[in-house]
Chain A
Amino acid sequence: MNRLRFSKNFLYVPLVFMAIFYLIPLYVMLVTSFKSFAEVDLKTMWNLPAGIHFDNFIEAYSKLAPSLWNSFAMVIPAAVLSSMLGSLNGYIFAKWKFRGADLIFPLILFGMFIPYQSILIPLVQFMNAVGIKGLVGLTLTHIIYGIPITTLTFRNYYASLPQELLEAAKIDGADLLKIYRHILLPISIPSFVVVLIWQFTSAWNDFLFAVVLTGNKDWPITVALNNMAGSQIIAWNVQMAGSLLTALPPLLVYILAGRYFLRGLLAGSLKG
């Protein structure tokens, strides 16, 4: 028994070692961000800051602020609308299988795996032709290409509910919409949280759609950060603070609701 306990405690060695590996980039981001400009030097990048200074954050924020708000303005409606759409679709694909539903569903699923490069040229042409520019176009894009994953997550949840639940309501005279509103919607909150978080994170972190669909003025923060990092003028310490600023909203969501985040993650591999 004692030997077993000793060997189990021994497992903390690789565990802590791995923890350090995962924390290194976060550590560098944090210590660099809180250094004063005077302290910043690549040669001392691993040292702790002498005190807490906000020079880097102020500088990064002054560069990234408009993009930060662009990101929020785009991500919130994208997440909310695509979850609502996904919930409705999921309900019908799980409980009201119309003819051909079993054929259409896998076709929809495929959409979440395609490399978006393969629809990028028509997308840009289309958006230009209909005159939907910038953030609105980007929001719309995230809603449309979010349909597969949001539909899948909700469908898997609704499919796990017993059919008797619906039959009983039907006998009581409830129709399709009433069943949805009064029976399914109230118990869908956890799935909504999963999908909202997932859509928030993926739209926030997106780069490809953003870089082709938006210009200077409505760049979301990922594009602005990448451009900041690509320029020779902006010091690496400010880039670190900017990275932290970009990472913070999804990180906070992860810290507050990690369990739901994980479920969205597993849904993304079709393992809802």
Chain B
Amino acid sequence: MRKFFADKDRVLSVVLVLPSILAVLIFIYGFIGWTVRVSLSKWKGLNPDYTWNGLTNYINLFSDPRFAVDVRNTVIFTSVFVVGTILLGFFLAVLLDQGLKGEGFFRSLFLFPMAISYIVTGVVWRWLMNPATGTRTSGFNLLFSYLHLDFLQNAWHTTPTWGIAAVALAAIWQMSGYTMALYLAGLRAIPHELREAAQIDGASDLQIYRFVILPLLTPVTLSALIILGHMSLKVFDLIIAIAGKQLPLDVPAIYMWQTTFDGLFYGRGAAISILLLISVAVLIIPYIIYTLRTETFK
């Protein structure tokens, strides 16, 4: 009798998850396959055209000056964003780990930008980073002049070549609370005895952080690197909100969107998106496998 129920339930369990599994198979893997097919086609224009084109769309991207700008911008953005977010997040987590009064308040404060849309962040930062000069100076530049820090005034996201780094500042503002939360959770998981033992051995606070805590936080740093890294490869809305579709601040995600839906060059758009997917997959797949393998519960 019990066996009968178990079999019935076994079938039912599969039936219940089947719609979701099918949805994932179709809408994620099927669609990725479809995009790959589009990227190998000559489709340019309103009507689908699946004429075989080999790797032409990919090859053309590598000699495309716009794509070169995208790669450069992605590298600059990723470096500034990932390093800035990790350093700032770690700094905040260590500050909050000192058992100060009002810790909860500060923690909530550092995290609130996470709840906001990149579009909102972008619209506000666009005005904060207003590059206008002379009597029309405003935003941060105006604040710097109030504080007699005029030497800090700059053209922000309109700076040639490095403008994208200013966009990364807004992204750091938005995401550093997240790394702070990751590090704080990591710090809280370190047993107190370890620090006490190091203290008894005569280690200074700085030495404890350098030789005890930092090595124990390596897994946190690794996850933060991967999560932030894959986010910066996908950066899109923030740039759109700050600068619209300006070539100097172009990234692959924007190029794909524009060439596909404005330029109707589906073949090229698909090729860009597949390159984007591959770069994300290289980071994420080992991460998923590693995380599932080291899981405490099975």
Contacts and interface: CB of A to CB of B under 8 A. Distances in A.
A226 B227 CA distance: 26
B126 A106 contact: no
Interface SS, B side:
helix
Nearest to B112: A254
B98 interface: yes
Interface string B126-153: 1110101001111100110010000000
A114 interface: yes
Contact of A22 (B38, B113, B253, B292): B113
B13 A117 contact: no
B9 A96 contact: yes
A153 interface: no
B12 interface: yes
B48 interface: yes
A208 B237 contact: yes
A246 B120 contact: yes
A121 B260 contact: yes
B111 A258 contact: yes
Residue among B5, B117, B227 having the largest count of chain A Cβ atoms under 10 Å? B117
A62 interface: no
A201 B115 contact: yes
B20 A89 contact: yes
A85 B121 contact: no
A93 B21 CA distance: 11
A207 B119 contact: yes
A114 B178 CA distance: 20
Interface string A224-243: 01100110000010011011
B116 A251 contact: yes
Contacts of A225: 119-120, 123
Contacts of A222: 117, 119-120, 237
B253 A115 contact: yes
Contact of B21 (A108, A207, A230): A108
Interface SS of chain A: helix
Contacts of B177: 22
A29 B233 CA distance: 29
B87 to A, nearest CB: 12
A126 B48 CA distance: 12
Nearest to A126: B31
A98 B117 contact: no
Nearest to B278: A118
Interface residues of B, number: 105
B244 A230 contact: yes
Interface in B262-279: 266, 269-270, 272-274, 276-277
Interface stretch (B64-72, B156-164, B193-201, B282-290): B282-290
Interface string A6-49: 00100110110011011111101100000000000011011000
Interface in B171-189: 173, 177-178, 181-182, 185
A253 B114 CA distance: 12
A67 to B, nearest CB: 12
A73 interface: no
B285 A110 contact: yes
B280 interface: yes
B236 interface: yes
Contact of A108 (B24, B117, B270): B24
Given A123-B31, A207-B119, A265-B181, A105 B292 contact: yes
Interface stretch (A50-58, A130-138, A140-148, A182-190): A140-148
Nearest to A29: B124
Contacts of A14: 91, 95
A229 B126 contact: yes
B21 A104 contact: yes
Given A104-B21, A109-B292, A115-B273, 19 more contacts: A11-B95, A15-B106, A25-B125, A25-B128, A42-B127, A42-B139, A45-B138, A46-B146, A110-B281, A113-B284, A115-B277, A121-B270, A122-B30, A144-B23, A145-B27, A177-B12, A226-B122, A261-B115, A269-B224
- What 4 A-B pairs are tightest by C-beta distance, nearest first? A205-B117, A119-B31, A254-B115, A117-B273
11 contacts: A15-B96, A22-B110, A45-B139, A92-B16, A110-B28, A147-B23, A212-B261, A226-B123, A253-B115, A266-B185, A269-B182
